[in-house]
Structure 1
Amino acid sequence: MPNKPKTPNLHDELNFARFGVISMHSRIDQQITSWQTEFTVNGRTFRIEAITPVGRPHGIDTDTLVSLETLFVANGCPEDNWVHTTAYEVRELMGLANNGENYHRLRQSIRRLYFTSILVGRKTTLTRSQKVAWDNVGVRFLDGLRYRDSEDDGELSTLDSDATLSIRLGEQLAASIRAGISQVLDGQLLYQLEQPPARALYRTMQAHRRQDDGTLLSELRVPLTEWRQATGLTADRSDLVRRALEAAHQELIANRYLESAVIEGRGKKAVAHYTFADVNAADPVLVVLLRQAGVAVTRATILASRYPDRVETALQFLASRQRTVGSVRNPGGLVADFLERPDKYEILQEVVSPESQLQERRQLLKQQKVAAEHLVQQQADAHLEQLRAASPTEQWVAQRSTLQLMLKKHLSAAQWQELEALAQRGDILAVDLSSSLIEATAKSCLSDRIEQLKRHLSPLLAFQ
């Protein structure tokens, strides 16, 4: 996406991003018009059956779908699920050059998405039974399509750039976006990534690292056999999968999205291990305040991490606007736009003066922060209690990133492996360990707690 982005963020439905239907390949065998796959990533299992009469979606199809979803959100998520736009607007949002070839590529891309039908299965265990069953639902990217095209002298079908292009999103896709089951992709990063495979991999990776509570994993480990299917790679051999991923890995590292991308092991035992670049973690209290203002959870997390010093001003601006004009139709959108495009807004005088009013608003915001901190603590406590009821392995998976962040400078590789083995067996409970480390940090005795942990590990490892 070489052109300057028209929007800093792009919207993308989470479930469809995880299905792996759109292949990250730039080119694919279009004779394959149906396939079945089953894979598990980050504890979520998917069974996918797809029929693609004009070929499997791939390449720029990721950019096309994300652009259409973004336009759907920008138009207020209309109830009839239709997006009325032009090929010119979609191409601009995708960052493609304004030429006939790209209008042809966009036409082919939209048609691939329109003709694709998907059956998604979700694994479930029947009540009072050990039997595993699958709940299945048919979904589509697009349900309706109206466009005008033309043929040039070379008989290359291209979309009319200025004619109305009307696209109706699939019922489940639109309903899911409307319900907030979506992620906000970093538009600036997407436009910096030059190749479609890197953009497709970023979208897939971002969806799978997202936890149900909106937080993002700092690391993601996936068996390569599973990751191949999640990214839509069609090669069976691990060396070909590695080769297909390598260029995208390099781009994502170069653009500081990934800190490292390592494929460990060989053959069927190979594992893709991703460490995400350390961006400033969002203050959960600021996230709660933005959520209370109506900002979606993913976007609130991004905004809180990027503009922590301006969140208070943004909320004051919203309060001022509400007092001035009455109800604001989309308060979350106004706050987000204020943070992302400060030059558009003139700070009203009452936001900064008089001092007595400003002090009163600051006191109110302070009270809101206290309430938000209390809510965050309640949510964290409830989450820990829920995790304590989980199996040792599930606890380890959930707490591994936190533990690594606190322990990676203190434990050797062998000690870390020993800790992982003990935690997976249940000899050390990951939730209790992370809680004790956090408590030790607060009491300034973390080093003593770590030494105690080392003594708990096998004697040969404890003194490395």
Structure 2
Amino acid sequence: MEPLRINELDMTLAGIFSVQKVLPNESTSWTVDYAIGSTLYRIEGHANNGRPHGTDSDVLLALQTMFFRAGCPIGDRIEVKPTDILRMAGLDTGGRAYVRLREAMLRLAGVRWSMVRSSWNETKQRHSGATSVVGIISELRLVDSGGARQPFEQRQLDERLPIEVIFSPTFADAIRAGLYQILDAELLARLQQAPARSLYRVIQAHRIQADGSLATELTVPMKDWVRACGIDESRADNARRVLALAHASLEEEGYLKGAVFSGRGFSGSVTYQFVSAPQPELAELLIARGVTRPVAESLASDHPERVQPVLGKIDAALSTGWKPRSLPASIVDGIRHPEKWTQGIPEPRSAPRKAAAPRRVPAPEPEPELDVDARSMALTLIKLRLGRPLSPMGLMAFEELTDAQVQAVLAAAKRPAAEALPLLQSLLNSPL
């Protein structure tokens, strides 16, 4: 059987993010061959702005989450503020944070790789598989400052103005399907060191078996594992040290039961034992509702106590006529982010509402899967109405608006274009 293809995990399987925080001989291209279990991999990577590493993976996870919470917009495009990316990624917002964020965004936009993956076919008595050529971001636009002749890497990101990100179609579709949430955001938030977070991603990717289930124990050859993790191969003792520090964090946070090295140097192996095992009956409940097996088993392993309560709320909402954009993705998001679902799912707007006692300030509940930043949504709608971004003066005026004024702009932008433009002009009191 050929390995189950999980598009969203290709970059992890390909070792695009190095487990080492700083790569020792970082280059713009690399080729790696390794084997995990019965699967052979050959990776050829190209990174115009350097290979992603360190907190780059946290920045990407933040962008994936923001894209999902924005409703996975058509066109695979979002506009997000630099500060919001840093906060979503759990990163500092002071000092040189915006310089480092700009560098991370450029690395993510510039990386592309091909992966040949093959497994032994018993019927044909030969290896067979597939080749994929993958990228993350199709287009990136950010506002920075610096002289025209200033070195490219020294330009400064403008923290006040939004960044426009357009994901590659395959990657965006994986987010729509909820596949990226195979990773436990709560665990990632608790892991303080970037190498531990990166290693968690690699282990979770290779933990997926051919049928999509998660292994309860994983043994990997040391030489191949170092290559899969993007760790420097020059010294085995240094490679072990990098892994051992990450292992300690993953054990402390309850992901690993144990991580044992056997053998000497690169000729040895590493065996991982996991604390939590998927609960089959819960995983099957999720699979029956369209959640892919790897994600279902991850949820049943990470948060078994949340599965049935969330499914109960969703089933109740569906019976009222509520229609989510993607039922599997909404289920996954509800289990991963229960704080958004504590009050249940609101009735669809087309459904008649029950009579209620008058309230001084009516405030209908937002739909949980549309948990988006109002300012980002307003900017997106304005651009749709204008057919272009706001002018610099218009954007400066927008930045000065209060939250209440932003809500007024949001309401105006949702009107037909003929009505929206005069209202927006009036509300912003500035050229559009």
Aligned to 1:285: 281
Structure of greater relative contact order (alpha carbons < 8 Å, 6+ residues apart): 2
Equivalent residues in 2 for 1:166-177 (5 A)? 166-177=164-175
Matched, 1:42 2:42: no
Of 131, 142, 151, the match for 1:147: 142
Matched, 1:14 2:12: no
Aligned to 1:157: 155
Deviation for aligned residue 1:300: 3.3
Equivalent residues in 2 for 1:35-434 (5 A)? 35-123=30-118, 135-150=130-145, 157-178=155-176, 182-277=180-275, 279=276, 281-305=277-301, 308=304, 311-336=307-332, 339=335, 340-341=337-338, 344-346=341-343
Alpha-carbon distance in structure 1 between the residues aligned to 2:312 and 2:121: 51
Is the contact between residue 16 and residue 173 of structure 1 (CA under 8 Å) also seen in structure 2?
A: no
Alpha-carbon distance in structure 1 between the residues aligned to 2:207 and 2:200: 10
Alpha-carbon distance in structure 2 between the residues aligned to 1:309 and 1:130: 44
Q: Secondary structure at the match of 1:234?
A: coil
Deviation track 1:118-159 (CA, whole Å, cap 9, x = no partner) reads 12223378999877677533222222110012359xx95332
Alpha-carbon distance in structure 2 between the residues aligned to 1:338 and 1:181: 14
Deviation for aligned residue 1:295: 4.1
Q: Secondary structure at the match of 1:13?
A: helix
The 1:235–1:187 alpha-carbon spacing in structure 2 relative to 1, beyond 3 Å, is same
Q: Percent identity?
A: 33
Deviation for aligned residue 1:162: 2.9
CA RMSD of aligned residues (A): 3.3
Alpha-carbon distance in structure 1 between the residues aligned to 2:216 and 2:247: 16
What TM-score do the two structures reach when normalised by structure 1?
Answer: 0.64
Structure 2: tracts of 5 or more residues without a match: 1-5, 148-152, 346-432
Q: Secondary structure at the match of 1:108?
A: helix
What TM-score do the two structures reach when normalised by structure 2?
Answer: 0.68
Aligned to 2:150: none
What letter matches 2:134 in structure 1? V
Pick which of 52-61 and 226-235 moved more. Answer: 52-61
The 1:66–1:43 alpha-carbon spacing in structure 2 relative to 1, beyond 3 Å, is farther
Higher-Rg structure is: 1
Alpha-carbon distance in structure 2 between the residues aligned to 1:39 and 1:230: 7
Pick which of 282-291 and 222-231 moved more. Answer: 282-291
Alpha-carbon distance in structure 1 between the residues aligned to 2:132 and 2:80: 29
Alpha-carbon distance in structure 2 between the residues aligned to 1:86 and 1:186: 24
The 1:263–1:331 alpha-carbon spacing in structure 2 relative to 1, beyond 3 Å, is same
Deviation for aligned residue 1:59: 1.1
Deviation for aligned residue 1:309: 5.5
Is the contact between residue 59 and residue 197 of structure 1 (CA under 8 Å) also seen in structure 2?
A: yes
The 1:147–1:265 alpha-carbon spacing in structure 2 relative to 1, beyond 3 Å, is same
Structure 1: tracts of 5 or more residues without a match: 1-10, 349-464
Deviation track 1:339-367 (CA, whole Å, cap 9, x = no partner) reads 5426854469xxxxxxxxxxxxxxxxxxx
Q: Which structure has greater helix proportion? A: 1
Alpha-carbon distance in structure 2 between the residues aligned to 1:300 and 1:306: 10
Q: Secondary structure at the match of 1:316?
A: helix
Alpha-carbon distance in structure 1 between the residues aligned to 2:43 and 2:294: 26
Deviation track 1:240-285 (CA, whole Å, cap 9, x = no partner) reads 21122121111112212112212111134211111122x2x44322
Alpha-carbon distance in structure 1 between the residues aligned to 2:82 and 2:306: 37
What letter matches 1:117 in structure 2? R
Q: Secondary structure at the match of 2:233?
A: coil
Is the contact between residue 145 and residue 166 of structure 1 (CA under 8 Å) also seen in structure 2?
A: yes
Alpha-carbon distance in structure 1 between the residues aligned to 2:37 and 2:304: 29
Deviation for aligned residue 1:107: 0.7
Alpha-carbon distance in structure 2 between the residues aligned to 1:309 and 1:251: 24
